[in-house]
């Protein structure tokens, strides 16, 4: 793990809140000069601590009104079968996140869709017929209680 000091943590915390900050704005928040801040920011990017920048789009404003989680159990647990399933996941744009798990399910998928018909299509026409899949179980999100991508940086300051 890269060694981070208090200034680095201030920079990271500020960028988690607003990735569009200029170096001067960031420097003011971190208590550094703009050139010092720029060098630190570049180092954090080069070391892949800052993995990238993106716009956070409002899914519902764009018509993606259904969020669901889908648990997948594979038909067989062979490397080839897992590869076929992972290849399928990469091709399906509606899958936002995918995790390999311990426990009853092999994978957990987070999908965003426009409506319930789209969920039905993904489950019945894409996932269930795929030769790598044995079992599919979906859960529709009723309400988002918390959504964040922010890391708990205060834990690192200790």
pLDDT of res. 158: 67
CA-to-CA separations, 111 to 40, 86, 133, 150, in angstroms, rounded: 36, 15, 17, 20
Tell me: the pLDDT tens digits for 77-134?
999 999 999 999 999 999 999 999 999 999 999 999 999 999 999 999 999 999 999 9
The residue among 40, 55, 70 that closes a domain is 55
Q: Are 74 and 81 in contact (CB under 8 A)?
A: yes
Same domain, yes or no: 46 and 107: no
Q: Are 30 and 7 in contact (CB under 8 A)?
A: yes
Structure token digits, residue 137: 């179980």
Here the CATH number for the domain that contains residue 45 is 1.10.10.10
Instruction: Choose between 2 and 96: higher pLDDT.
Output: 96
1 lies in a domain?
Answer: no
Same domain, yes or no: 64 and 50: no
157 pLDDT above the threshold of 90: no
**Could you tell me the pTM of the whole model?**
0.87
Tell me: the pLDDT tens digits for 17-66?
999 999 999 999 999 999 999 999 999 999 999 999 999 999 999 999 99
Write out the residue range of the structural domain in which residue 24 sits.
6-55
Same domain, yes or no: 70 and 121: yes
**Count of domains for the chain:** 2
Helix (H) / strand (E) containing 22: none
40 lies in a domain?
Answer: yes
Same domain, yes or no: 20 and 67: no
């Amino acid at each position: 793990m890269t060694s981070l000091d208090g200034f680095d943590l201030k920079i990271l915390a500020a960028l988690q809140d607003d990735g569009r900050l200029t170096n001067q704005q960031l420097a003011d928040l971190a208590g550094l000069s703009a050139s010092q801040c720029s060098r630190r920011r570049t180092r954090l990017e080069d070391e892949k601590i800052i993995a990238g920048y993106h716009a956070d789009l409002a899914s519902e404003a764009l018509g993606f009104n259904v969020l669901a989680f889908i648990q997948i159990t594979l038909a067989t647990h062979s490397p080839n079968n897992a590869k076929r399933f992972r290849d399928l996941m990469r091709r399906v744009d509606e899958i936002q996140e995918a995790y390999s798990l311990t426990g009853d399910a092999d994978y957990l998928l987070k999908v965003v869709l426009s409506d319930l018909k789209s969920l039905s299509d993904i489950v019945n026409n894409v996932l269930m017929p795929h030769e790598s899949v044995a079992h599919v179980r979906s859960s529709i999100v009723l309400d988002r209680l918390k959504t964040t991508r922010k890391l708990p940086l205060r834990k690192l300051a200790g």
